[in-house]
Amino acid sequence: MEKISGINKITPTDYTILESIQNRWSPRVFAEKPISERQVKTLLEAGRWAPSSGNMQPWRIIWGIKGTEMFDRIFECLDDYNRSWAGNAQVLWLNAFKKTMNNKDKENFHALHDLGLFMGNVISQANSMGIAVHQMAGVRFKDAQKEFHVPEDYHVATAVAFGYFGGDEEVLPGDLKKQEITELRKRISQDEFAFNGNFVERK
């Protein structure tokens, strides 16, 4: 994948992994280059073919392109922190999932996992198109539920911002600008989360 961003992020991997995974990160500024409806549909198609428990496909997506009423409606459902930067995106969408099994007689405990697999496909597809993805937990989900007439059997879980790399970090507030231009990325080590034996709680 061609690196388009002017910010040089450093990902210190312990093992060789796919370049598209190593170069993936979540910017808060994006280039002015628009994303078309066809491109949005391409991302959705990639997600559509994600695996899910019992093939129930519990994900539901609400999307809008910058400059449209749908984009603005989604934007207004974000929390204040995310609204401070997400207007830079070219596409916003909301992720919801169906909380119960298809016959509604019991909870679907795998729905969030399946939504994550959906987004994994979307991110892989976006990477191949040079599109950056930033997922957000900061959503006023009750407001979104009401705004978009989402049934009680569904939960609005996250929002996502999409755009091409290459935005101007100078438009960000000071603390967000610092995060944006910090080069070294960090993750906990494998031995803190993967166990070839009994579970170990590390602090």
Contact call for residues 65 and 71 (beta carbons, < 8 A) = yes
Confidence label for 52 from pLDDT (cuts 50, 70 and 90): very high
19, part of any domain: no
From the number of C-beta atoms within 10 Å of its C-beta (0-12, 13-18, 19+), residue 99 rates as: middle
- pLDDT, average across residues 128-141: 97
Nearest residue to 102 via CA among 90, 115, 111, 92: 111
Per-residue model confidence as pLDDT tens digits over 9-43 = 888 999 998 999 998 888 889 999 999 999 999 99
Q: Is residue 41 part of a domain?
A: yes
Determine, yes or no, domain membership for 200: no
In a domain, 198, yes or no: no
Q: Is residue 109 part of a domain?
A: yes
Full residue range of the structural domain in which residue 145 is found: 27-192
CA distance 197 to 194: 9
Number of domains present in the structure of the chain: 1
Query: Can you tell me the distance from the alpha carbon of 182 to that of 25, in angstroms, rounded to the nearest whole number?
Result: 12
pLDDT at 94 over 70: yes
| pLDDT average, residue stretch 36-63 | 97
Tell me the three state secondary structure of residue 6: coil
| CB-based contact 30:167 (threshold 8 Å) | yes
Q: Which CATH number covers residue 46?
A: 3.40.109.10
Q: Return the SS3 of 48.
A: helix
Task: Please provide residue 77's backbone torsions phi and psi, each rounded to the nearest 5 degrees.
Answer: -90, -5
Give a yes or no: residue 21 inside a domain: no
Q: Would you say residue 1 has pLDDT above 90?
A: no
- The whole-number pLDDT of residue 105 equals 78
Task: Let me know if residue 188 belongs to a domain.
Answer: yes
Residue 20 lies in a domain: no
